[in-house]
Chain A
Amino acid sequence: MKITVDFDLCESNAICMDIAPTVFEVRDDDFLYVLNESPPSELWEKVREAADRCPKQAITVADE
């Protein structure tokens, strides 16, 4: 799995951080940081949910 974030779309709503905090982090500077762009398989379901629930549809998940 490979995660890409379109930072032109991302508005730091931080929903992804709620769902997968070990992968996504919105810091106090209000920017999203992807902590692990190729997360292990046990996190894939959470990452897919984070992508589904991003209100800006800014997260893309590619299967590899």
Chain B
Amino acid sequence: MDHVVIVGASLAGLQAAQTLRRADESMRITMVGDEPHLPYDRPPLSKHYLAGSWEEEKLRLRAAADPDALGLEWKLGTRATALDVDARTVTLRNLDSGAEEQLGFDGLVIATGASPRRLPGSDLDGVHVLRTLDDATGLKAAFDAEPNHVVVIGAGFIGAEVAATARERGLGVSIVEAAETPLSRVLPAEAGEQITALHQAHGVEVHLGIGATIVGDGTKVAGVELSSGSTLDADVVVIGIGVVPSTDWLDSSGLTIDNGVVCDATCMAAPGVVVAGDVARWPNERFGSALTRVEQWDNAVEQGGYVARRLISWAADEEIEPYTPVPWFWSDQYDRKIQLAGVPTAKSELVQGSFEEQRFVQIFLDDNDAFVGALTWNRPRQAIQSRQLITRGASLDEVRETLAPPPAES
């Protein structure tokens, strides 16, 4: 394998590049990214960067701190527009000059991520999404102008974190969410209610189970009309209603595209073509054979490293274990650190702390009473312990004992 092309110059792609380089000092590696920036970290965009406490330089992913360190050929501001699996070429377009080129590869990493869903009215002045550094810079400028009222549509991670940051900056904020609880895609309703209470305690007006329509005067946003009939005035609206995987460029590739690039249990979509990060949909055999797509930071890193090893094993015609991570994510809102390891279920048990203390460990069991998930608030150690216990299929007795309250003298 003389030349690997990595399409997508963010977390998963960079980790793939770093892993390939550690394994092979001389391999040619080309990194293609459609943003003009060197790889940066996205989670701080909605927090430190938007709050104004971090400058842009601090966001740079460390493996790209010195862009020459890994010996990569960078093609930034360049979008992949097509893939020919048989001819083993990708078509690239430079977004500045419009120039197109065909680039050959032996191995290909697809790590193009996802882009925010939008709503009618997205093009009005004052309406924002938050995914990229440029998005965040635009939203930060809008916050700097001290708007009278910010409406966040969607109480997922991005929406909830943007609302928290806006409140910390002293701005008036409303959240409008179509579901009955915040973060309903990833958290059980009970935990979602805690998030609602947290935001209300910080002065955010929370509207749940309500549809939202953006209204404006044709140029500038004026507010958000609720399905209940009332209208919230707003000079800034942030849409945080999820993302769609960035697969348009693969439509004619012959790869299976279905809510992401569908690949096998080793994240391979075609011979020598691997997929990592938000765009990958693969069967995680740890949790059955259903296809999963994971929009999480840690998965992007782990899967980016995995697919690099997968390519190396493919080139050497060697077997590799399937990719079977235990999911894990965190979200920081105000002074809360919320973490979920594994998967939540309807069957839960509080093994430590309480909602009132804002410090707890809640575990989730499957139909056979096996431990499959844990939600922790301000209990980071137990989140990781849970992940380890899930990984090795620990008994419920061991789970309860390990996660039980620590001795007072510790």
What is A's interface to B at a CB cutoff of 8 Å? Answer: 11-15, 17-18, 26-30, 48-49, 52-53, 55, 57, 60
Contact = CB atoms under 8 A, between A and B. Distances in A.
Interface string B139-165: 000000000000000000000000000
B74 interface: no
Interface of B: 15, 18, 22, 41, 43, 61-63, 297-298, 301-302, 305, 328, 330, 332, 337, 339, 378, 380-381, 383-384, 387-388, 406, 410
Nearest to B22: A48
B388 A55 contact: no
A52 B308 CA distance: 14
Contact of B380 (A11, A48, A53): A11
Q: Which 4 pairs, one residue from A and one from B, show the smallest C-beta to C-beta distance?
A: A14-B384, A28-B406, A28-B410, A26-B381
A60 to B, nearest CB: 8
Nearest to A48: B22
Contact of A52 (B18, B332, B378, B387): B18
Contact of B337 (A11, A27, A28, A60): A11
A55 B330 contact: yes
Given A14-B380, A17-B384, A18-B384, 4 more contacts: A12-B380, A12-B381, A13-B330, A55-B297
A55 B337 CA distance: 13
Contact of B43 (A18, A52, A55, A60): A55
Contacts of B378: 30
A46 B369 CA distance: 32
Nearest to B388: A18
B381 A30 contact: yes
Contacts of A52: 15, 18, 63, 301, 305
B381 A28 contact: yes
A28 to B, nearest CB: 4
B256 to A, nearest CB: 29
A14 B383 contact: yes
A43 to B, nearest CB: 16
20 contacts: A11-B337, A13-B337, A13-B380, A13-B384, A14-B380, A14-B381, A15-B298, A15-B328, A17-B384, A18-B384, A28-B381, A29-B410, A30-B378, A30-B380, A48-B22, A52-B18, A52-B63, A55-B43, A57-B41, A57-B61
A27 B41 contact: no
Contacts of B388: 18
A49 B62 CA distance: 13
Nearest to B44: A56
A27 B410 CA distance: 8
Contacts of B387: 18
